[in-house]
Amino acid sequence: MLRTLSLASLVFTSALVGCAAEEPTTPGSDELAGENGQDGETPKADGIDNFGFLAVEPTQAVCANPLFCQNYKLSRVNRTTTQCWGGSYADHCSVHDINWSNLNLSQAKVTKIEDAIAHETKQSGPQVLVRGTFKSFVEFVAFEPTEVWIAQRGNGNGNGTFVRIVDRGIRCITAPCPQFAEGRLNSTRDAVIDGIDYGTSAEDALQERVYEATTNGGAIVVGDRTTRSVNNFSEKYRSVNQVFLPVK
């Protein structure tokens, strides 16, 4: 059964689960895909700040003195370059350490984050996203996060466009009704969509957590544009290859 989170599905799907399938979605042209000159480097004055999101990867470095190992690589999602300590740009920035202490998280949550980073594979894609600042201690460069987001789908992947989806707070009597706004991460580009396309997934608990997050700061979804024809109009969705929720 197709599972989509939209105004129509919120109203009707819960009553119809097991009774009837929604019309399937099809791939569509994604106006937020691909890096271009419209991405910019600073947020719009009247928009949500979606800049500064970095994917964290382990370097697997082996050093004679572990204190001087560059243990993590950070890179901007959706972009080919990242601004490192000192202002220079590169495809990624290496740091010796990530200082989680400013987030005031329990040790159990920090361990969960570090385990997710350590078990990342090329097939699964990024498991942890952060926002924060680089700090230099002479020969030692660290990163101090102000936010951390962790992947929720164990069988997910990082293929597609990274967007933050928020509920626009509008409700309509008739469709079309683009209930959600999505902003491309590390960009000023945005769009409105009718819902979130989970495909055939039955992860009801995850869908509930994602919807709750869209009403409180947003959920980060990685996926592609899909569409669905309903009567005489077309609905736009974002498919879900992976989804990130904030760690608090």
Encoded tokens for 204: 């009801």
Q: How confident is the model at residue 6 (pLDDT cuts 50, 70, 90)?
A: low
Identify the pLDDT of residue 4. 61
Q: How confident is the model at residue 58 (pLDDT cuts 50, 70, 90)?
A: very high
Q: Give the residues across from 85 on adjacent strands.
A: none
What is the three-class DSSP state of 152? Answer: coil
Neighbour count for residue 170 (Cβ, 10 Å): 12
Tokens 């190992």 belong to which residue? 69
For the CA atoms of 28, 31, 33, 39, what is the dihedral angle to 10 degrees? Answer: -170
pLDDT tens digits for range 116-168: 999 888 778 999 999 999 999 877 899 999 999 999 998 999 999 999 999 99
Q: What is the pTM of this model?
A: 0.89
Identify the pLDDT of residue 90. 96
Q: Give the residues across from 75 on adjacent strands.
A: 55
Residue 14: pLDDT above 80?
A: no
Neighbour count for residue 162 (Cβ, 10 Å): 27
Identify the pLDDT of residue 70. 84
C-alpha distances out from residue 115 to 37, 70, 111, 118, 144, Å: 36, 17, 6, 5, 18
Identify the pLDDT of residue 22. 63
Calculate what percentage of the chain has a pLDDT beyond 70.
90
pLDDT tens digits for range 181-232: 999 999 999 999 999 999 887 789 999 999 999 999 999 999 999 999 887 8
Cα 122 to Cα 124: distance, rounded to the nearest angstrom: 6
